[in-house]
Amino acid sequence: MKVLVIGGAGYIGSHVCLEMMEAGHEVVVYDNLSSGLRENLFEGERFIEGDIMDAERLAGAMSEGFDGVVHLAAFKAAGESMTAPEKYARNNISGTVNILNAMCGAGVGRFVFSSSAAVYGEPAYLPVDEKHPTVPENFYGFTKLEIERLLGWYDRLKGLRYSALRYFNAAGYDVRGRVRGLERNPANLLPVIMETAAGMRPELRVFGNDYATKDGTGVRDYVHVNDLAAAHVAALERMERADESLVVNLGSEEGLSVLEILEAARRITGKPVPATIEGRRPGDPARLVASSALAAEKLGWKARYSDVDTLVETSWKVYER
Ligand code: WQD
């Protein structure tokens, strides 16, 4: 298939492009390089520098015809979305509307959407399956849910088929070491630990050790970015066979605590990785773990690289230099 990967120069997007090409698909990347990196572009793919807010440029790019679109061009800082909602509304919602309308205009009918576990909000039960109520705790999660709802209507009214992939905590780097680009100003746990190990920041601040969890620190479902990438390919290929849209969780189904990851990082890097215990971060649930049974059933997908050692080792290979 010929695939347009919007946001293909980003952290997850670059891994998706590699996986698509490995599966034999032709990749065109559309990215404004606002957080994406030129060094995340690979031989074999074509690059169009463009913004999703530029509806004309997007329509122009789409007009050459594609078998599918993968969309990962979004702002993703949950905290920032609460203080700058207009930025998230504009890019994440309006930008996606531009993409969908460009697809309709060009007759492109398959869409893989980068959604998030943030659509669920505070978990009412665990593991979280796709039937769990969707009550986002932050505006970022709201933008993802709003797009999923839009997709339902485009499916019904325009025959656009979509796969909304609700990622849990994306982490790790390409197991074959092909992606080398570091995220700028990361806020997520694993890159923060890696930056600390590499001496790029003085310490890890652990947000709370008084949760009702195995060791008091927050537990999350970390899913390796190569596993996520494989799910995008599976979703796209499934839509070619089955004329049906899908909303599906992508998680490892394993809960890892902050301290478990920190200990693995100290062991694997051989660095001290100083850490201080601080107060809880507002809006953080104690535990969040996925059920990925639906992804297994519909996509034949299962996390393969999401164990703590692989998550840390593949990240350290990139941060170590
Ligand atoms: C993980 C754990 C923290 C940083 C966020 C978004 C979510 C999704 C994924 C996009 C928690 C603890 C973290 C630090 C820490 N984004 N932590 N010190 O909050 O689970 O999810 O990213 O789709 O929408 O909210 O991920 O990596 O920030 O935190 O102690 O410096 O690490 O409290 O328990 P989170 P995270």
Which tens digits make up the pLDDT trace of 235-255? 999 999 999 999 999 999 999
- Please report whether residue 299 resides in a domain: no
Same domain, 93 and 135: yes
Quick one: pLDDT at residue 303? 98
138-173: burial string, b at 16+ Cβ within 10 Å, e else: bbbbbbbbbbbebbeebbeeeebbbbbbbbbbbbbb
Q: Tally the domains of the chain.
A: 2
List the residue whose alpha carbon is closest to atom 16 of ligand 1: 76
- Please report whether residue 298 resides in a domain: no
Report how far ligand 1's centroid is from the alpha carbon of 285 (Å): 10
Quick one: pLDDT at residue 63? 97
Same domain, 12 and 57: yes
188 Cα nearest atom in ligand 1: 27
Q: Percent of the chain having pLDDT more than 70?
A: 100
Q: Does the beta carbon of 172 sit less than 6 angstroms from any atom of ligand 1?
A: no
Same domain, 118 and 210: no
- Please report whether residue 314 resides in a domain: yes
- Please report whether residue 128 resides in a domain: yes
169 Cα nearest atom in ligand 1: 9
- Please report whether residue 178 resides in a domain: no
- Please report whether residue 123 resides in a domain: yes
- Please report whether residue 143 resides in a domain: yes
Same domain, 158 and 201: no
Q: What is the span of the domain harbouring residue 269?
A: 189-220+253-290+304-319
Q: Does the beta carbon of 82 sit less than 6 angstroms from any atom of ligand 1?
A: no
Structure tokens of 321? 């230099």
Q: Does the beta carbon of 258 sit less than 6 angstroms from any atom of ligand 1?
A: yes
Same domain, 121 and 240: yes
- Please report whether residue 176 resides in a domain: no
Same domain, 92 and 156: yes
- By CB atoms closer than 10 A (0-12, 13-18, 19+), residue 198 is middle
Is 140 marked active-site?
yes
Quick one: pLDDT at residue 321? 81
List the residue whose alpha carbon is closest to atom 14 of ligand 1: 189
Which sign, positive or negative, has the C-alpha torsion 17, 18, 22, 26? positive
Same domain, 13 and 68: yes
CA distance between the termini of the chain: 36
Same domain, 13 and 149: yes
Same domain, 158 and 203: no
- For 125-140, write each residue's pLDDT tens digit: 999 999 999 999 999 9
Q: Does the beta carbon of 207 sit less than 6 angstroms from any atom of ligand 1?
A: yes
List the residue whose alpha carbon is closest to atom 7 of ligand 1: 118
Same domain, 95 and 48: yes
Return the CATH number at 166: 3.40.50.720
Same domain, 156 and 207: no
Q: Which residue bears the tokens 């932050």?
A: 138
Weakly modelled stretches of the chain, pLDDT under 70:
none
Q: Does the beta carbon of 91 sit less than 6 angstroms from any atom of ligand 1?
A: no
Report how far ligand 1's centroid is from the alpha carbon of 1 (Å): 35
Q: Does the beta carbon of 205 sit less than 6 angstroms from any atom of ligand 1?
A: yes
Q: Cα–Cα distance between 283 and 198 in angstroms, integer?
A: 29
Return the CATH number at 259: 3.90.25.10
Same domain, 152 and 167: yes
Report how far ligand 1's centroid is from the alpha carbon of 187 (Å): 7
CA of 121: how far to CAs of 117, 128, 301, in Å?
A: 8, 10, 24
Q: Does the beta carbon of 144 sit less than 6 angstroms from any atom of ligand 1?
A: no
Q: Which residue bears the tokens 């789409």?
A: 62
